[in-house]
Amino acid sequence: MLQALLLLAALPLATSSSAHGNQRRVIQQPGLIRFPITVSEAPAGTFRRLRRQNNVDLTSRSTGFFYTIDLVIGTPGQTVPVNFDTGSWELWVNPSCSNTSETAICASLPRFTGSTTLVDTNRTGQIAYGAGYAKFKYMYDYISVGGAKINQQIFGVAYDTSVVAYAILGAGPWVLGWQSPYPHVLDSLVSQNHIQSRAFSLDLRPIESPLGAVIFGGIDTKKYIGALEKRPIATGPDGSVRYWIYVDGLSVTREDGSQIPVFDQINGLLALLDSGTTLTQLPRSMVTEILKAFPSARQDPNDANQYIVDCSAASLTGTVNFKFGNTVIKVRYDDFLWKQPQHGICVLGVSPNDSFFVLGDTFLRSAYAVYDMDNRNVYLASAADCGTHLVPIGKGTDADVNHGVAGSVDYNTRRQDYFILEFLVAYIFGRVLYNGCYVLGQVLNHIINHVLDHVLNYTADHIISCIINHVVNSDICHGADYGCNHTVHYVADPVNHN
C-alpha cells in the first residue's frame, strides 16, 4: 500500500476546473437532485435589516445577501430565481417592485408571466415577514427542479407584496404542523418519485464562492468533516413548527489562541436554522461577550442592533465556535462578517435579540446541514470542500442519512485500518510535499478516488480532511485554505446517528 501511495503521488495532477464545473450545474441521480445555489447581495444604498418576529404566523428576511436557485415554471418553461429559505414554507413568485426599497434588484430578476397550462385554484393565501408581507393567488402548474418535473405543483402568484424584493421558495415545514394543507415542493418531489424522503442538505458558501448547493433527497459526503451530528427538531418557543434545534455551547477563539467562553450547557439555547436570515441573532448578553473579541466594534448609527467592525478583522485567524453535542462548528472571522464594500464597512455577523434566536447565514456558511423533515431531525457538521460524492437518503425511520456510503468491511477492521492509513499518509505527505494545501488536496483526492474508495470502502472526505488537518497543524501549509483544515472527529463512517 505504501508503495502504491508513493507511486500515485508522482502522477500528473488533474486541474480542478472540471470538478468545479460539475458543481455549477444541476446533477440528477436516482433518488436525489443536486442544485447549485447562487448567492446575491442587495444593491448599493440598501443598508437595513428586517427583524424576525416571534408570532406563529410570521417569518422574516434579512436584507444583505441571499441564496437563490432557479425553478422552471409553466408551459413554455420560464426560469424564475427563488430565494431558498429554510425559515418559511410557501412558494410564491412576482413581488411588487414598487413596494420595496430594493427596486433595482427586484426589477433585475426574471418574473413569471403566464403559462398555457396554468390553473387558477380560486383561492388566495398570504404570509407575513418581519417588516413585510406577500399576498397571492394559489395556482398550479408544472414546475421543474432541475430535471425533475413536478406535475400540478401549487404555488402563489403575488398580487400584493410589501418590502420583499424576490420570489421565495420556503423549504421549512408548515408552521402549524408537520403535514401541510397542500403538498409543498419537497412533498411533491417525494410523491412523484423524484426523491425517496422529505429531506435535503444545504451547503452554503461565502459570497465570493460559486460552489454552494442544495441536494434534494441526498447528501454530499465530501462537503463536510467528521460525523454529522444528529439534532432532534424541537418545538419553537412560540409553539411553531420550524427547524428549531438546541445549541450546547458558544465561545470565541482569538487569534492568539485565547478563549472567550460565552456559554456551555446542554440544550442551553434554542435557535432556528434559517437560510433566509443574514445575521445570526442571539441574546444580548451573549452578543456582549462576543463583542469582547472585536475591540473595533461600534454600534451602527442606522441600526442599534447591528455592530460595525474594522474590515481588517476579516484577516485575523480567530473563530466563533458553536457546539452541538460532540461537534463544534468553527466560523472564521472572515465568514462571520457581513462585508459592505459599497459602504466601505463590515458588519459583525451577530445581532442581539432577547426573544427570538436565529442561526443565520453567518453561521450556515461554515456548516453542512441536513434537514430530515420525515424524521424531524437536523444533522450538522463543519463544511469542507474535498470533492463530490453524492449519496441518496432512503425511506424510513432515520433513513440512510446515518449510513452514507455502505461498505462491506467490518467496522472494527475499517476503524483500525483508518487510523493506520490516516497517520501514515499524513506523515508522508506532511513531510515531503511543500507545494501548499491545494496541490496536496489534489494528490490525495486522486489517491482516494482511485484506490481507497474501491479497495477499503472509505470515503475521501474523512481521509483527506484528516491529512490536511495534520499538515496544517505542522505549519507546512500555514495560512493556506483548501477548505479541509477543520477540526476532525475520527470516525470510520461518513455519517453517524446517536
For residue 80, name the pLDDT band (cuts at 50, 70, 90). very high
For residue 406, name the pLDDT band (cuts at 50, 70, 90). very low
For residue 107, name the pLDDT band (cuts at 50, 70, 90). confident
Q: How many Å separate Cα 347 from the centre of its chain?
A: 20
For residue 342, name the pLDDT band (cuts at 50, 70, 90). confident
Task: Enumerate the H helices of 103-176 as residue ranges.
Answer: 103-108
pLDDT reported for residue 408: 26
Residue 149 sits in the same domain as residue 182 = yes
Say if strands 280-282 and 350-352 run parallel, antiparallel, or are unpaired. parallel
C-alpha cell at 488: 476532525
Least confident residue range of 222-226, 327-331, 394-398:
394-398
Residue 235 sits in the same domain as residue 370 = yes
Please name the amino acid found at residue 144: S
pLDDT reported for residue 168: 94
Mean pLDDT of the chain: 77
For residue 421, name the pLDDT band (cuts at 50, 70, 90). low
Better-predicted residue by pLDDT, 20 or 116: 116
**C-beta of residue 221 within 8 angstroms of C-beta of residue 201:** no
- Catalytic one of 141, 220, 248, 274: 274
For residue 42, name the pLDDT band (cuts at 50, 70, 90). low
Which positions ≥6 away from 31 have C-beta within 8 Å? 195, 196, 217, 218, 392, 393, 394
Residue 373 sits in the same domain as residue 254 = yes
Question: Is residue 347 scored above 50 in pLDDT?
Answer: yes
Q: How far is CA 150 from CA 70, 145, 153, 196, 441, in A?
A: 14, 8, 6, 15, 39
Better-predicted residue by pLDDT, 101 or 142: 142
Domain annotation covers residue 332: yes
Residue 379 sits in the same domain as residue 257 = yes
Residue 51 sits in the same domain as residue 161 = yes
For residue 465, name the pLDDT band (cuts at 50, 70, 90). very low
Least confident residue range of 313-317, 376-380, 409-413:
409-413
Number of domains in the chain: 3
pLDDT reported for residue 494: 34
Highest mean pLDDT pick, 26-30, 317-321, 492-496: 317-321
Say if strands 32-36 and 213-216 run parallel, antiparallel, or are unpaired. antiparallel
Domain annotation covers residue 150: yes
Highest mean pLDDT pick, 283-292, 302-311, 405-414: 283-292
Residue 82 sits in the same domain as residue 142 = yes
Nearest to 135 by CA among 146, 148, 126, 122: 126
| DSSP state letter for 112 | -
Nearest to 262 by CA among 189, 320, 345: 320
pLDDT reported for residue 459: 42
Average pLDDT of the residues in 394-399: 75
57 is catalytic: no
Q: What CATH number did the domain enclosing 294 receive?
A: 2.40.70.10
Highest mean pLDDT pick, 289-293, 417-421, 477-481: 289-293
Residue 187 sits in the same domain as residue 270 = no
Domain annotation covers residue 51: yes
Domain annotation covers residue 100: yes
What does the CA dihedral 76, 79, 80, 83 come to, rounded to 10 degrees? Answer: 140
Highest mean pLDDT pick, 61-75, 212-226, 411-425, 455-469: 212-226
Residue 304 sits in the same domain as residue 161 = no
Average pLDDT of the residues in 429-438: 49
Domain closes at, from 182, 200, 218 = 200
Better-predicted residue by pLDDT, 382 or 212: 382
Q: Which residue has the cell 460552489?
A: 211
For residue 492, name the pLDDT band (cuts at 50, 70, 90). very low
Residue 45 sits in the same domain as residue 172 = yes
Highest mean pLDDT pick, 3-7, 367-371, 456-460: 367-371
Residue 268 sits in the same domain as residue 303 = yes
Domain annotation covers residue 322: yes
Question: Is residue 103 scored above 80 in pLDDT?
Answer: yes
303 is catalytic: no
**C-beta of residue 249 within 8 angstroms of C-beta of residue 263:** yes
Domain annotation covers residue 235: yes
Structural domain span for residue 157: 34-200
Question: Is residue 264 scored above 80 in pLDDT?
Answer: yes
pLDDT reported for residue 106: 87
Is 215 buried (19+), middle (13-18) or exposed (0-12) by CB count in 10 A?
Answer: buried
Domain closes at, from 325, 355, 385 = 385
Question: How far is Cα 152 from Cα 137, in angstroms, rounded to an integer?
Answer: 15
Residue 422 sits in the same domain as residue 310 = no
Domain annotation covers residue 165: yes
Q: How far is CA 460 from CA 35, 265, 441, in A?
A: 22, 33, 10
Better-predicted residue by pLDDT, 134 or 66: 134
Question: Is residue 251 scored above 80 in pLDDT?
Answer: yes
Better-predicted residue by pLDDT, 338 or 469: 338
Better-predicted residue by pLDDT, 456 or 193: 193
Question: Is residue 460 scored above 90 in pLDDT?
Answer: no
Average pLDDT of the residues in 336-343: 83
Domain annotation covers residue 215: no
Better-predicted residue by pLDDT, 427 or 215: 215
Question: How far is Cα 446 from Cα 433, in angstroms, rounded to an integer?
Answer: 15
Residue 8 sits in the same domain as residue 72 = no
**C-beta of residue 462 within 8 angstroms of C-beta of residue 494:** yes
Question: How far is Cα 163 from Cα 424, in angstroms, rounded to an integer?
Answer: 57
Please state, for a pLDDT cut of 70, what percent of the chain lies above it: 69
- Catalytic one of 85, 334, 361, 374: 85
pTM recorded for the entire structure: 0.76
